[in-house]
């Protein structure tokens, strides 16, 4: 973490990106994006919110994100599509569970079976 802050302070973009890449891993996916944001959020907190170094970390992170993940997100249908699919999947799971509950428990309580 301290190395990220130091490389941002020195404007060493290639070393900063290499450190982020080493910590995030080689996979490309939503979990890798989450790891990147968590890592750089911690670096911003270490640098001090609102400082010039924190702004530099954010700028370098944005560039890294754009270079590594932007096209992949577009290929997945974007942020909104994945958010909506996640909601649809959760709703479907909820409806299936409700249906199973109705079939399994309510008929016995109502004396149907």
Question: Tell me: the pLDDT tens digits for 23-68?
Answer: 999 888 888 988 988 888 888 888 988 889 988 988 888 889 989 9
Residues 4 and 47 in one domain: yes
Could you tell me if 58 and 89 lie in one domain? no
Q: Are residues 31 and 65 in the same domain?
A: yes
Confidence band, pLDDT 50/70/90 cuts, at residue 4: confident
Q: Residue 103 belongs to what domain range?
A: 78-113
SS3 annotation, the chain: CHHHHHHHHCCCHHHHHHHHHHHHCCCCCHHHHHHHHHHHHHHHHHHCCCCHHHHHHHHHHHHHHHHHCHHHHHHCCHHHHHHHHHHHHHHHHHHHHHHHHHHHCHHHHHCCC
| Residue of higher predicted confidence among 113 and 83 | 83
Q: Decide if pLDDT at 99 tops 80.
A: no
Q: Check whether residue 71 and residue 84 sit in a common domain.
A: no
Instruction: Count how many domains the chain has.
Output: 2
Give yes or no for residue 85 having a pLDDT over 70: no
The answer to whether residues 49 and 100 belong to one domain is no
If asked whether residues 67 and 17 sit together in one domain, one would say yes
pLDDT at 112 over 60: no
87, 72: one domain: no
Q: Are residues 110 and 58 in the same domain?
A: no
Place of tokens 């890449």: 21
Whole-model pTM: value is 0.66
């Amino acid at each position: 973490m301290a190395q990220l802050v130091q490389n941002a302070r020195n404007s060493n973009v290639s070393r900063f990106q290499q450190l982020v890449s080493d910590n995030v891993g080689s996979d490309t996916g939503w979990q890798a994006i989450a790891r990147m944001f968590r890592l750089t959020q911690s670096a911003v907190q270490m640098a001090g919110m609102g400082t010039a170094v924190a702004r530099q970390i954010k700028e370098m992170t944005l560039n890294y994100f754009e270079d590594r993940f932007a096209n992949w997100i577009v290929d997945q249908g974007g942020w909104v599509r994945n958010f909506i699919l996640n909601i649809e999947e959760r709703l479907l799971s909820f409806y299936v569970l409700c249906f199973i509950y109705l079939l399994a428990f309510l008929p016995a309580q109502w004396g149907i079976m």
